[in-house]
């Protein structure tokens, strides 16, 4: 089940790279916990992002599910000899020089395609202490698609897919639902404890905002 939109003939290089990635995933002995939802469009919010290998193991795991995920990339990477390779691997070019912002560009891409599984490293960087960036939520809201949380445990060589979560009008409540799922899988993991605490910060901000708006 491809999420790459219209069918295109893939380059030999991209086919080789994908096969190598899947082979490494199996060779390293990684296993799956749970399954991706059988729905056409969603945002995949993955964490923790602690290694450059995260993307490799994620590609291997989604291959087992028959899904080819997409990712965002700077539009300048989609030029020359790299263009076909980046598109074949699921890349979606984002032009930050355009008037439309990143969220609007991706929302339009969701609207254009019949299937799209967009993967986002929710922490934003490997240096994160566990706080999530709100980009995954803003994209899901704008595109009117659910969020699928994905967790990774390098020690156990395990990658897990969560349930599809509909983003509510409250970022804090959506974050809490995701945090509870993540903690249910890795209860002692420090970064997911931070994620749960992050909910409280945004919840207080939303309550204060409501108090300002409501006379």
**pLDDT reported for residue 120:** 93
Q: Is the confidence at residue 128, as pLDDT, over 80?
A: no
- Domain-by-domain residue ranges, the chain? 12-213
Q: What is the structure's pLDDT at 164? A: 97
Higher-confidence residue of 15 and 43: namely 43
Give the pLDDT confidence of 143-198 residue by residue, as tens digits: 999 999 999 998 899 999 999 999 988 899 999 999 999 999 988 888 888 888 88
pLDDT at 139: 96
CA distances (Å), origin 46, targets 53, 88, 117, 118: 13, 21, 12, 10
Task: Report, as an integer, the average pLDDT of 98-126.
Answer: 89
pLDDT bucket at 4, cuts 50 / 70 / 90 = very low
Amino acid 190: pLDDT? 86
pLDDT band at 205 (very low <50, low <70, confident <90, very high): confident
- pTM of the full predicted structure? 0.88
* pLDDT for 80 beyond 70: yes
Work out the average pLDDT over 100-114: 93
Q: CB of 182 within 8 A of CB of 192?
A: yes
Q: Which of 73-87, 90-104, 122-136, 149-163 has the lowest mean pLDDT?
A: 122-136
Looking at residue 67, what is its pLDDT?
A: 93
Whether pLDDT at 47 is above 70: yes
Judged by average pLDDT, the poorest of 88-92, 157-161, 208-212 is 208-212
Residue predicted with more confidence, 5 or 28:
28
Of residues 95 and 139, the one with the higher pLDDT is 139
């Amino acid at each position: 089940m491809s999420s790459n939109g219209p069918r295109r003939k893939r380059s030999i290089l991209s086919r080789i790279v994908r096969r190598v990635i899947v082979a490494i995933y199996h060779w390293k002995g990684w296993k799956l916990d749970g399954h991706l939802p059988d729905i056409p469009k969603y945002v995949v919010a993955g964490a923790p992002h602690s290694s450059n290998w995260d993307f490799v193991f994620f590609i291997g795991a989604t291959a087992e599910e028959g899904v080819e995920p997409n990712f965002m990339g700077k539009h300048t990477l989609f030029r020359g000899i790299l263009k076909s390779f980046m598109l074949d691997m699921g890349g979606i070019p984002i032009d930050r020089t355009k008037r439309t912002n990143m969220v609007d560009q991706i929302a339009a891409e969701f609207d254009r395609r019949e299937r799209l599984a967009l993967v986002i490293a929710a922490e934003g960087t490997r240096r994160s202490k566990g706080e999530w960036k709100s980009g995954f939520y803003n994209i899901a809201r704008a595109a009117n698609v659910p969020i699928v949380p994905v967790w990774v445990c390098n020690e156990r060589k395990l990658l897990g897919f969560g349930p599809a979560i509909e983003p509510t009008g409250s970022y804090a409540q959506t974050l809490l639902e995701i945090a509870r799922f993540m903690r249910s899988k890795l209860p002692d993991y420090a970064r997911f404890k931070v994620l749960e605490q992050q909910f409280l910060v945004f919840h207080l901000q939303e309550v204060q905002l409501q108090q300002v708006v409501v006379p």
